[in-house]
Chain A
Amino acid sequence: MIKALKNPADLAKLKVSLLAERDPKRICISVCGGTGCRASESALLIEAMESEVAKQGLKGKVDVKATGCHGFCEHGPVVVVTPKEIFYERVKPSDAAEIVGETVIKNNILDRLLYADLMSGDKILSEGEIPFYKKQRRRILAQNRLIDPTRIGDYIALEGYGALVKALTQMTPEAVIEEVKKSGLRGRGGAGFPTGFKWEFCRRAKGDDKHIICNGDEGDPGAYMDRSVLEGNPHSVIEGMMIGAYAIGARRGFVYVRTEYPLAVGNLRIALDQARQRGILGKNILGSKFSFDIEIERGAGAFVCGEETGLIASVEGRKGEPRQRPPFPTSKGLWGKPTNINNVETWANIPLIVNRGASWYSKIGTEGSKGTKIFSLVGKVNNTGLVEVPMGATLREIVYDIGGGIKGGGDFKAIQTGGPSGGCIPRHLLDLPIDYESLSKAGSIMGSGGMIVMDDATCMVDVSKYFLNFLRDESCGRCLSCREGTARLYEIVERISEGKGSEGDLDLIEELAHVVKDASLCGLGQTAPNPVLSTLRYFRREYEAHIKDKRCPAGVCKALIQYVIDAEKCIGCLICLKQCPVQAVTGEIKKPHKIDSDKCIRCGVCVDVCKPKAVFVV
């Protein structure tokens, strides 16, 4: 039977006893159990590790821990053997026996599982020495690799809920708000609204029945920071929400999580149950007068529900259609009551600010944006994964120093930030220090932190078509300008991608885009033209090549390309001929093949199957 903690002293005692049980010299095999590594069979690996530990007689002597996401997903499953911090990548269940037998028992390093430096090829032993991690400044993500998210004790042992105790016992609600204001923390969900001020509005709003919401809808496709935080360190979000509830005077909290994140929902549910059992959530928390509890609401796959008023409608059980603001949720939100909404990462920053103080917190960052930001670095970059850096880091540092440059040796073309509300930033702005202001000046936005790297094989007309398709699909359809505007914009860009564009189309896009921006009710419509406008601003020539020359320079838009076989490279192996779904390839064995362009449907299968890479695009 788990004992509920009756007061802060109980929590302190629990922490001491948890730490006493831990021998820092004891070997622990941490296996990443995040969604990314699970996709690479880490669940089987964890089982294999546990059974090897037992089989080799180490049960009770060596720990196996399934942690949250380390953020280096492409190299997963990731294993760290502590205390030596040996880092193994791409570990398979079949490697478990050797890791236990060699590394754990005999102290031998398995060279083949070490990370190799991209440039020198040198093997690197520990996580901290890998450039991907070394150049980051991990504050929010720091604990993910140390914690089993399904065990509240792991969080408590690392000072967990210490900030809550500090707030409850040493600070008035006003003092908490003051500290958050002073920290300079701005919302990580997109618009960057100063968090402390939002809390103050909500605290001052009339009425006793107030709510807080954690926005875990993470609708930006390509971004997964919130997933990793919720999944890997759910208690940090819960603690942040509790401090917020105390400061604002809220009794009920809700976490709105996308349904596409089953593991985050599961881990959060376990964390909430454990916090309740421990008396950390519920009535008279830790013996204080403060009572608070949190419910989970699963999203149902609508992008617009990430918008705060849409989200509120969805929690109320209705269609997630946004409404006009003001009134803002802080005065009239969930069920008409004052409601404070913050993003997952925003909440996870709160315990740090309360624990370490606003002046410590605001030491890093830029003039207008303090602290760190987690980015989801994905696309055509060597090291994809989660990157936490101080505000003000440059794109070059992120893409090259941390990301290791462009994958496959192509050239950097653009980086997309801010998701469907954001834009593409071109090469000449690589040295831009990123914060809320600089990104919006560059025609994009911070958004929630997605960063999709694009190389010269990415067509910007296609990217813009992609986002417009997404937006016309996700527009809730309530306002005409957004519904019709995104549909018309899509049609124009689609026409251009098919080589049917005409000279006036680009002006038409700009005109229409401004109407959609100005006339739409919610943020979705107001920002919907950003992807097309930013690509037009920086890559106008590429649009013109599609319109005037009927050419797609990146070789993507099907109507404007042809596949050709290089007769010198072709070895006549018949593979593409057999795989072509429309029999467009002709030829004989050991003789160069040919593609009949009239028959060819541009599916690209021949490119994918050709070993000597003889198929190219013109």
Chain B
Amino acid sequence: MKKSTAKRNGTGEPRLDKIFKSYKGRAREMISILQDIQDEYGFLPEEALKKTAVFLDVPLPDIFGVATFYRMFRLGRPGKHTITACIGTACHVRGVTRVVEEIGRTLGIEPGQTTPDGEYSLDTVNCLGCCAIGPVVVMDGQYHGQVTSQSARKLVKAQPNVKEVVKS
């Protein structure tokens, strides 16, 4: 499909059309568009990237290059709920490593993974700017400060649909 036809006729995907509508189709808009796509879908679906390539008239590998360069973009579908732990310096010296390990054990996954039932993803981030109240863990947008391994475990277990992992 040519760029012009794509613009005129839409992509066949209303959610994408809505995003593209606020852009002019210039290559410099790539990062902002990817951010909007991720906000909308929770990740960057391959189909959406292909359509972005057409919209911006740039080769698909360029888009993948950008999408993999930046830490915030994810190419795989995340869990229904995301748990993000800050592993920044301030949180590190206050023992976030233990917190991340404990959350991982409770959910049975490692950072960067999603539970097999697709419910939970565990991510890490380099600093959330709440360093004074570290260690900081964010669960579905809700920030929690001064988390310990034990309070983290309780928090996780109190979330909906958390399956108890059988001890090895």
Contact = CB atoms under 8 A, between A and B. Distances in A.
Contacts of B130: 35-36, 39, 73, 224
B17 interface: no
A328 to B, nearest CB: 22
B119 interface: no
A454 interface: yes
B145 interface: yes
Interface stretch (A95-103, A115-123, A311-319, A502-510): A311-319
Most buried by A among B32, B35, B65, B71: B71
Interface stretch (B4-12, B75-83, B85-93, B110-118): B85-93
A223 interface: yes
Interface in A530-586: 581-583
Interface in A373-401: 376-380, 384-386
B31 A317 contact: yes
Interface string B81-110: 000001111111110001001100100000
A317 B29 CA distance: 6
A603 B101 contact: yes
Interface stretch (A177-185, A299-307, A434-442, A489-497): A299-307
B128 interface: yes
A119 B144 CA distance: 28
A604 interface: yes
A379 B90 contact: yes
B132 A74 contact: yes
A221 B90 contact: yes
Contacts of B98: 603-605, 608
Contact of A380 (B65, B66, B93, B131): B93
A300 B70 contact: yes
Contact of A317 (B30, B129, B136, B143): B30
B131 A260 contact: no
A303 B102 contact: no
A608 B88 contact: no
A220 B89 CA distance: 8
A336 B126 CA distance: 31
Interface in A411-425: 416, 419
B71 A450 contact: no
Interface residues of B, number: 48
B70 A384 contact: no
Nearest to A463: B93
B27 interface: yes
Given A298-B35, A320-B70, A416-B89, A260 B136 contact: no
Contacts of A40: 133, 145
B112 to A, nearest CB: 12
B69 A260 contact: no
B107 to A, nearest CB: 13
Most buried by B among A224, A261, A320, A378: A378
A476 B69 CA distance: 8
A74 to B, nearest CB: 5
Contacts of B26: 317
B145 A39 contact: yes
Contacts of A470: 126
Contacts of B145: 36, 39-40
Interface string A438-469: 00000000000010111000100001001100
A282 interface: no
Contacts of B149: 603-605, 608
A303 B126 contact: yes
A302 B69 contact: yes
Contact of B93 (A35, A258, A317, A454): A454
Contact of B129 (A218, A380, A583, A608): A218
Contacts of B128: 35, 260
Contacts of A259: 35, 72
A228 B128 CA distance: 12
A317 to B, nearest CB: 4
B65 A39 contact: no
A221 B134 CA distance: 12
A73 B132 contact: yes
Nearest to B101: A603
A315 B30 CA distance: 10
B48 interface: no
Nearest to A466: B92
A582 B71 CA distance: 33
A610 B101 CA distance: 18
Contacts of A297: 31-32
Contact of B89 (A221, A227, A264, A609): A221
Contacts of A222: 88-91, 127, 131
Interface in A35-81: 35-36, 38-40, 73-74, 76
A264 B128 CA distance: 12
B19 to A, nearest CB: 14
Interface string B14-41: 0000000000001111111011000000
Contact of A300 (B31, B89, B93, B134): B31
A301 B93 contact: no
A505 to B, nearest CB: 23
B28 A317 contact: yes
A378 B70 contact: no
Given A222-B127, A604-B149, A608-B149, A36 B133 contact: yes
B63 to A, nearest CB: 11
Contacts of B133: 36, 39-40, 73-74, 76, 384
Given A319-B65, A581-B105, A302 B71 contact: yes
B161 interface: no
A38 B143 contact: yes
A298 B31 CA distance: 9
A265 to B, nearest CB: 11
A318 B98 CA distance: 36
Most buried by B among A218, A301, A454, A583: A301
A315 B29 CA distance: 9
Interface in B37-68: 65-66
A605 B98 CA distance: 8
Contacts of B86: 221
A261 B91 CA distance: 17
Nearest to B33: A317
21 contacts: A36-B133, A39-B145, A73-B130, A76-B133, A218-B129, A221-B87, A221-B89, A222-B127, A224-B127, A224-B131, A303-B126, A317-B66, A319-B65, A321-B69, A379-B89, A379-B93, A416-B89, A454-B93, A581-B105, A604-B149, A608-B148
5 tightest Cβ-Cβ pairs between the two chains A and B: A221-B88, A39-B143, A300-B70, A301-B71, A317-B28
Interface of A: 35-36, 38-40, 73-74, 76, 218-224, 227-228, 258-261, 264, 297-298, 300-303, 314-321, 376-380, 384-386, 416, 419, 450, 452-454, 458, 463, 466-467, 470, 476, 581-583, 603-605, 608-609
Given A300-B70, A301-B125, A317-B29, 15 more contacts: A35-B129, A39-B144, A220-B89, A220-B127, A224-B131, A259-B72, A261-B129, A301-B72, A319-B66, A376-B90, A379-B89, A419-B89, A450-B90, A453-B93, A466-B92
